[in-house]
Amino acid sequence: RVVLITGGALGIGAARARRLARDGAHVVLAGRSVEEPSSRKLEGTLVGTARSIAAEGGVAFVRPLDVTDARAVRREVEAVAREHGGLDVLVNNASAVDPRRKPTQESIDRMHSTNARATLACNSAAAPHLSRSGGQILTFSPPLSGMEEWLSHMPAYAMSKYGMTMATLAFSSPSLRANTLWPRKTVRTAATRMLEDATGVPYHTKGRSADYFAEAARDLLLLPNATGRCFLDEDVLPHAEDDAPLDAFAK
């Protein structure tokens, strides 16, 4: 199976890539953080993730890609399908975050182009290949229920993430499974660290391991006939009570 993951330099994306590779998938990591992090606030690169996969005996490839460039997205998806003999799974992992209630216009534009717009571009480019292979789309974005609270708390970021969800559900069809997945409790990632720094809420300190979320994502991909749905990780992979992890919907 050929799996294309946007991003994957760190956090959930990297954990997800390693988990899929352990199952024997050929993982293609596409993003900007090829050999250097895309931001000085972040750590990790796509090359680093690929090396960790190779060290575990897996197969991984790295392709430079700016997901905000729709033409580049289409070009790279076509190249991946051509070079690897098709495409079976698209994982929309790349995301930008700014938790401020009133971020700058530049930050708003960055979130919407990286999140909602890029997800729509990736899904549009990959859909014909995925339909032919009986494949599926998995997007890391929140369920639409309860969005009113998040929209009032951090409207720009919430709109961009809910846009990712809608851009995914729209592609569900008899020949293409398309679902979203979101953590019930917070996960220790660069994004939750930024949220914690900005708000003082221990999103990162009290988060769960990214490996748990990656395992839930793997189980979701194996669910037969599941499509057009929004899942929380605990819906797919029950988790025993642990050290009081923070609710992902806490504010």
Give the residue numbers marked as catalytic: 157
HEC assignment per residue over the chain: CEEEEECCCCHHHHHHHHHHHHCCCEEEEEECCCCCCCCCCCCCCHHHHHHHHHHCCCEEEEEECCCCCHHHHHHHHHHHHHHHCCCCEEEECCCCCCCCCCCCHHHHHHHHHHHHHHHHHHHHHHHHHHHHHCCEEEEECCCCCCHHHHHHHCHHHHHHHHHHHHHHHCCCECCEEEEEEECCECECCHHHHHHHHHHCCCCCCCCECHHHHHHHHHHHHCCCCCCCEEEEHHHHCCCCCCCCCCECCCC
